[in-house]
Copies of this chain bind each other. A is one copy, B any other.
């Protein structure tokens, strides 16, 4: 077909300029190597099941039943048939517990129209109520100092990414509108801001203090933006941090809320790693809890992709709005316009909705699946922590590598000092990939202090893979820098 010359055209410049390193040239190179038969260890994404993490059985049991409801009755019959009888080599665990069977029926009866129908655009009301209950229990809203979560301010979304886009797309009208984002950041934020033509306003995290937030750095970032004529509408906080893993304490959350309140900013709280806190003396503190009855607009997002659940492919998430702003010169609220956006998308996928329902409704202590569920959860979180520790220990053997702060989320973000002149962290990550098969993302993809170099690695590969590949990385590293 060499005779046909493709037409050319101009396109949306914002999409043309948008960048997203997590799926950029390094993973593309990895895909090429894989096609050539090389073993690839994809640590560029927080994608646990791609690296062998097993799904939590409870979730999949329910999912399997609600997707094929006539099986529920058959499972009951099978249980009766095999009850007390010879199991013919089958195990008791091969049958669903009554709890799972009843939960599945109950879910379907609340859903009314099954898994194959479009739901309400914001997700079925009973799922939003369940999410509100989860938030209230987590934040102690029953005690009174924290208002209860309102299901009408909750949206079930295709992962947290969609929730973030709903908010940022709406906040930004043109390039004079800005959103503050941490540096380093998860590049969804820079991409979303770029895509809708807004201005990205960077605030730096203090690496050597464990990627701490610092009021002076926030003030100077905001002041600089305002001097440039930018109307800053909101600030993004990622807690636990991505890529940094830093976990904010209550005092810091309080200071951030004060900063936002003083400056009339909304807060976008990315709290998708709230279960991924590994240090016994650090705990997750939600923005909603510390906000209490304060009036700062808060958009918090969560996801079924992270934590111990790791159900990335099912794309479940939620957005919860507090203190929804009024839209100037209208009788509408911000929430009304998020709903309009969700309506045009019709609804999020029903399996992601189910996953979110199960995430906020784990099996209670007195139920049959409790023990196994709890065991699987603990095992996954312990494994994650152990693997982070293993990789951190490897850094001690790499010249000029330092990894600041606590371990949180699913990532380590070490600093690479002393890279040879003329090379940067992109070259380093490409070299590391070529030499070891490890796919990482270089620091520039997240943003970093000028003159510094980093990489982000998801600490997800199986232990034996880490044990095998870490010495090769150390060897590569020390040869690279020396």
Contacts and interface: CB of A to CB of B under 8 A. Distances in A.
A348 interface: yes
A208 interface: no
A344 B191 contact: yes
A60 interface: yes
Given A12-B196, A15-B340, A325-B8, A50 B159 contact: no
B347 A169 contact: no
A113 interface: yes
Count the copies: 2
Contacts of A171: 9, 11-12
A340 to B, nearest CB: 6
A65 B310 CA distance: 19
Interface stretch (A273-281, A327-335, A358-366): A327-335
Given A50-B118, A68-B61, A344-B18, A328 B90 contact: no
A375 interface: no
Nearest to A93: B70
Contacts of A48: 117
Given A327-B8, A337-B16, A346 B68 contact: no
B6 A325 contact: yes
Contacts of A350: 313-315
A374 interface: no
Interface string A262-286: 0010100000000000000000000
Interface stretch (A74-82, A383-391, A419-427): A74-82
A74 to B, nearest CB: 5
B314 A351 contact: yes
Contact of A116 (B6, B173, B310): B310
Given A11-B327, A115-B314, A323-B4, A77 B88 contact: yes
A71 B65 CA distance: 11
Contacts of A49: 113-114, 116-117
Contacts of A305: 118
A152 B269 CA distance: 36
A188 interface: yes
B116 A12 contact: no
A474 interface: no
